[in-house]
DNA sequence: AAAGATTGATATTTCAATCTTG
DNA sequence: CAAGATTGAAATATCAATCTTT
């Protein structure tokens, strides 16, 4: 152990990594069995749909999806081939692009949700009591935020 | 949404995936900056150390680490090259192997823990209040278990 | 045929440049 | 030079087939 970490901290950490991995694999598997692409594709489409005008700059997508630049660049390559999204030159800043959601991408989003939501329910939500969903959501949100006031 | 999923269920799911990904990336980054191999190497070494005689069958490691057979096979290849572990023929069952922890692997485990535990503390444990560590650990454990009595 | 494990071919991710514009 | 984005080469992960033993 470590002077700063108690048994429950380590147990929480281990469970976070193992549980996420197991549930995510189960959900991805359900999507694949239904003939759908990976969750990362869904995430791109969803972020674009939530955005104003159905388009975002690559760096905005990277921030929201926690991806590296080069990962996203190649993900967009594949999605562009399938006509789900489309790169567009940016007017304000000639260094940049917009990634735009295409109709086929909007359709895929709609088709995937029934399978995806059922998988989330089966492999994740159904395991907890009602109040625990909010409890878990709040706890995890806390972990994502800075722990202490940023020092100079 | 979906008739079965409420807003908090979806929020919990999203936070689980995003938070795990962000914290894991931060921890992996600290290990790499200290010149250490990825966490998956640590996990293999730790499971072997916890096991009787410091050795396990590949399929036992796969179960404990949630890896596919072929992933582990190649992971062990790399670790064997570094003399951290060693494959040994299995006496009882000639189809199988044992993977044995070597002294160099035991040392690496010891050297990595200070960096690893500090990273868990900084990026994860320090974000929560004392009682919340156990709360989170228990909640996540629940999700890993079967939801209903298995039907026939 | 099933269980334990590995391997060839392919897809994806990662690192380290690279290119273009602000 | 820094920011936005991409790319070649190398590392890793995945799928499907394979091999050996039960």
**pLDDT, tens digit, for every residue of A75-111?**
999 999 999 999 999 999 999 999 999 999 999 999 9
Q: In the structure, how far is the CA atom of residue A142 from the C1' atom of nucleotide D22, in angstroms?
A: 52
pLDDT at A49 over 90: yes
Under 8 Å CB-to-CB from A45, ≥6 apart: which residues?
A84, A85, A101, A105, A106, A108, A109
Q: Is the dihedral of CA B42, A15, A24, A122 positive or negative?
A: positive
Q: Which of A120, A14, A12, A38 minimizes the C-alpha distance to B65?
A: A14
pLDDT at B10 over 70: yes
Query: Which of B8, B22, B136 is nearest residue A133 as measured by Cβ atoms?
Result: B8
pLDDT at B23 over 90: yes
How confident is the model at residue A4, as a pLDDT? 86
Q: Give pTM, 2 decimals.
A: 0.93
pLDDT at B76 over 70: yes
pLDDT at B151 over 60: no
Residue A152: pLDDT band with limits 50, 70, 90: very low
Q: Which of A84, A151, A8, A48 minimizes the C-alpha distance to B129?
A: A8
Distance of CA A34 to the CA centre of its chain: 19
Mean per-residue pLDDT for B64-72? 92
Residue B19: pLDDT band with limits 50, 70, 90: very high
How confident is the model at residue A94, as a pLDDT? 94
Task: List chain A residues with CB under 8 Å of B10.
Answer: 120
Task: List chain A residues with CB under 8 Å of B38.
Answer: none
Query: What are the residues facing A99 on neighbouring strands?
Result: A56, A87
How confident is the model at residue A150, as a pLDDT? 44
φ, ψ at A60 (rounded to 5°): -70, -40
pLDDT at B47 over 90: yes
How confident is the model at residue B28, as a pLDDT? 97
Residue predicted with more confidence, B151 or A34 = A34
3-state secondary structure of B56: strand
Task: Chain B: give the shortest CA distance to residue A28, in Å.
Answer: 12
Render pLDDT for A52-69 as a digit per residue (tens, 0 to 9): 999 999 999 999 999 999
Q: How far is CA B8 from CA A115, B11, B23, B98, in A?
A: 19, 5, 21, 45
Query: What are the residues facing B100 on neighbouring strands?
Result: B55, B86
How confident is the model at residue B146, as a pLDDT? 67
Strand C contact nucleotides, protein CB < 7 Å: 3-8, 12-17, 20-22
Separation of alpha carbons B93 and B43, rounded Å: 25
């Amino acid at each position: 152990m470590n002077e700063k970490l108690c048994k429950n901290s380590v147990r929480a950490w281990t469970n976070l990594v193992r549980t996420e991995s197991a549930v995510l694999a189960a959900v991805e598997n359900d999507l694949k069995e239904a003939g759908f692409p990976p969750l990362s594709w869904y995430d791109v489409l969803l972020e674009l749909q939530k955005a104003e005008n159905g388009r975002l700059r690559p760096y905005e997508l990277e921030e929201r999806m926690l991806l590296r630049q080069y990962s996203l660049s190649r993900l967009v390559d594949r999605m562009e081939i399938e006509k789900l999204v489309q790169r567009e030159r940016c007017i304000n800043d000639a260094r940049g692009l917009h990634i735009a959601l295409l109709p086929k991408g909007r359709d895929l989003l709609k088709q995937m949700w029934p399978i995806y939501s059922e998988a989330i329910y089966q492999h994740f939500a159904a395991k907890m009591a009602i109040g625990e969903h909010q409890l878990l959501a709040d706890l995890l949100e806390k972990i994502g935020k800075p722990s202490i006031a940023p020092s100079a």
